[in-house]
Amino acid sequence: MPGSKPSTNSRVGAEILVSGRVQGVGYRFFTERVAARHNVLGWSRNLPDGRVELEIEADEADAKEFVKELEKGPAMARVEEVKVDWKTCAGRFRNFTIRV
């Protein structure tokens, strides 16, 4: 991916873990709104340890912009770390949902 020009046909997947003050601040609803804006498919959910987990698929450029916004988060959040494990897109998602 580095050095390559993203194309609309270059789809990627990612498993993402977000740490910090990201629960009880509307972070998952934020991910849903941002996913819609960047045509990102997948899901987000709270983990028992206080992190938010996401699994996504999108065009490479959209996925990278999505991750940039995750690093900022909503106003009340305090994002400390966003870990991204890039994967091959498997085409498993049809929308973006919040899992409970």
pLDDT in tens, 38-79: 999 999 999 999 999 999 999 999 999 999 999 999 999 999
End-to-end CA distance of the chain: 32
Residue 62 contacts residue 40 (beta carbons within 8 Å): yes
User: Which position among 9, 45, 46, 94 bears the catalytic label?
Assistant: 46
46 is annotated as an active-site residue:
yes
Query: Residue 30: in which H helix or E strand, if any?
Result: helix 27-37
Marked catalytic residue, from 28, 39, 45, 95: 28
The pLDDT tens digits of the residues spanning 5-25 come to: 444 469 999 999 999 999 999
Tell me if residue 83 falls in helix, strand or coil: strand
CATH number for the domain whose boundaries are 11-91: 3.30.70.100
Query: Quick check: is 28 catalytic?
Result: yes
Contact (Cβ atoms closer than 8 angstroms) between residue 92 and residue 57 = yes
pLDDT at 4: 44
Which residues face 46 on adjacent strands?
Answer: 52
